[in-house]
Amino acid sequence: MSTLLTINVTNMESATQNFYFFQQPAIYAGGSTVYSNALFSESLGSYSQTGAMLTFQVNLQYYAGIQQANSTPQVGQTSGYASAMRAIDLAPASGSASDWTTATVAPLGLSTPTAGTGLQPGAFRITTPSYQPPAIYNVGSAVEVNGGIALSNFVVANPASNTDCQPILQYYVQTGVYTPGTVMNFTQSSTNAALCDFTGGHTVIDVTLNADGTWTTQTIE
């Protein structure tokens, strides 16, 4: 049975608010620019008027992802279109795991993960084949959120290269609207956002937008 990480949001302000959710970008080897996608967005009425709560759930399972794009990532634009995702393990401190997958671009896909070598603990690897620019492929960390799999954060891949990705189990809640799958400005969005840190093994965090616009987070379990 899969483990779900759950964020429950309550809006204590007097008016309906829009909320969006996104993940702390993974650590990528190689120093390429890292981009973030919004994962989920929904409006939520005032608790005093509606008694409503907004729930965001993401599967603890890690996924490698590749996505074809028409242009380099732009904030406010969809990151790409055709994509492929594979459930994958993270490299352990010792021993081996299914932490390495190889991409194809014609057709677009990812191979069944096998054991790699030389990975940092907590990371997985995507190997991209040779291809000719201006073709653009995004590769990175995907998540299963609210029943669908989405590319959460990524870098633009280089042909015939390895990309190592170390996901971070931290998620953010912010007010506003970002369509899921749209590239966002992580630095701007994470400022004064509610941080939900699941790295300690917690699975449920309650988030409250207070009447004065501040956040309260509480670890439930």
The share of the chain scoring above pLDDT 70, in percent, equals 99
Structural domains in the chain (count)? 1
Nearest-CA neighbor of 34 among 187, 125, 141, 155? 155
Which range of residues forms the domain containing residue 118? 4-219
Residue 32 has pLDDT above 90, yes or no: no
pTM for the complete prediction? 0.95
DSSP string, 129-163: ----TT-EEEEEEEEEETTEEEEEEEEEPPTTEEE
Q: How confident is the model at residue 140 (pLDDT cuts 50, 70, 90)?
A: very high
pLDDT mean across residues, the chain? 96
CA-CA distance, 214 to 210, in Å (whole number)? 5
User: Are the CB atoms for 85 and 64 separated by under 8 Å?
Assistant: yes
CA-CA distance, 102 to 111, in Å (whole number)? 5
CB neighbours (10 Å) of residue 192? Answer: 11
Q: How confident is the model at residue 146 (pLDDT cuts 50, 70, 90)?
A: confident
pLDDT at 147: 79
